[in-house]
Amino acid sequence: MALIDRLGEALDGGQGGGIILSTLDSLVDWARGKSLWAMPMGTACCAMELIAASFNKFDFDRHGTFPRPDPRHTDVMVVAGTITKKMAPAVKRLHEQMADPKWVIAMGNCAVSGGIFYYDTYSVVRGIDEFLPVDVYIGGCPPRPESLQDAVLRLRERIATESIAPDRKREVALLLPESSGISFGARLGTPSSADVTDSEGDER
């Protein structure tokens, strides 16, 4: 267990540690969310859009997301493309090699559900969530590079709710009395299920 996890556990249990913990959480989440290095797990068509997202026109670097084809350096795995039954063990193994905390973006219909290769085929895994914990899904066949950038922003929102202490969620929404009638940060609450971003061009 990493030092930061033990620190979180100690603070969570200790007297008055909650205030320090939530301050520390906001710092850690800010740091993690603003430099999401991506592991480009590009296999098929979506890989071309993944490359395009990093290049001059779309310039992924400005979001702090930098493709790095090495699992040990990266925070988020972008699974872009069809995953076949032959490929799945390799993807799973690469995910296991990534250091915690780690996130997964399923890019494109094939990674979400099998997409156009859902029916009639004997070799395609119908969605990577059969063997990986997916945080953000992007629809589209293939999604545009902008969708991928949107997914990273959504993932950042999700990271903002995480705490370094185990089994604890950080409340980001501003706490105001209900009688005031003002609600802030509705989207920033703890998401119950993974966010889904939509994109045009769905072939199914």
Partner 1 sequence: MALEDVRDVALAGVETAGREELVVNIGPSHPSTHGVCRVIVHLDGEVVTKADPVIGYLHRGIEKMAENRTYLQVVPLTDRLDYVGSMYANWAYCRAVERLAGIRVPERAEYLRVIVCEMQRIASHMMALGSSAADTGAFTMFVYAFDERERIIEAFEELCGARLTYNYVRPGGVSFDVPDGWTEGVLEFCRKHRGALDEMDRLFFGNVITRKRMKGVGVLSAADAVARGASGPVARGSGVNWDLRKHDTYSVYPRFDFDVPTGSAGDCYDRARVRLFECYEACRIIEQAIAQMEPGPIHTPGLPRLLAPRPGDAYDHIESARGALGVYLVSDGSVRPYRMKVRSPAFCNLALLPFLAQGHMLSDLVVILGSLDPVFGEVDR
Partner 2 sequence: MNIAEFREHLCAIHPELCPLFSVEFGDGVLTIEREGFHQAMSDLKDLGFDRFTMVTAVDRTAGFELVYRVKSRSMSAALFVKCLVEREGPVIASVVDLWPSADWQEREVYDLFGIIFEGHPDLRRILLPTDFEGFPLRKDYVDSTVIRRPDYI
Shortest distance, position 52 Cβ to partner 1, whole Å: 7
Question: Over the range 157-189, which residues count as b (16 or more CB within 10 Å of their CB) and which as e?
Answer: bbbbbbbbbeebebebeeeeeeeeeeeeeeebe
Is residue 97 a contact residue for partner 1 (CB under 8 A)? no
The binder of partner 2 chosen from 66, 118, 150, 195 (CB under 8 A): 118
By CB under 8 A, name the one of 23, 35, 97, 123 that touches partner 2.
123
Rounded least distance, CB 42 to partner 1, Å: 8
CA–CA distance from 42 to each of 70, 84, 87, 136 (Å)? 13, 13, 11, 16
Is 120 near partner 2 (CB under 8 A)?
yes
Q: Which of residues 49-108 bind partner 2 (CB under 8 A)?
A: 85-86
Q: Decide whether 68 or 168 has the Cβ nearer to partner 1.
A: 68
Nearest to partner 1 of 84, 161 (CB atom): 84
Kindly indicate which of the ranges 42-50, 62-70, 96-104, 118-126 contains the residues binding partner 2, using the contact rule CB under 8 A: 118-126
Nearer to partner 1, 44 or 160 (CB): 44
Q: Which of 42, 39, 35 is nearest to 143 (CA)?
A: 42
Cβ closest to partner 2, residue 61 vs residue 202 = 202
- At residue 88, what is the residue type? A
The first and second tokens of residue 164, run together, are: 């370094």
Residue (of 147, 125, 133) closest to 50 by Cα position: 147
- Whole-angstrom distance, CA of residue 127 vs CA of residue 112: 5
Q: Does 55 bind partner 1 (CB under 8 A)?
A: yes
Identify the CA nearest to 161 among candidates 196, 194, 197, 191: 191
* Residue 120 in the binding site for partner 1 (CB under 8 A): yes
Quick one: 90 or 176, whose CB is closer to partner 2? Answer: 90
The CA-CA-CA angle for residues 134, 26, 40, to 5°, reads 35
Binding site for partner 2 (CB under 8 A): 85-86, 118-123
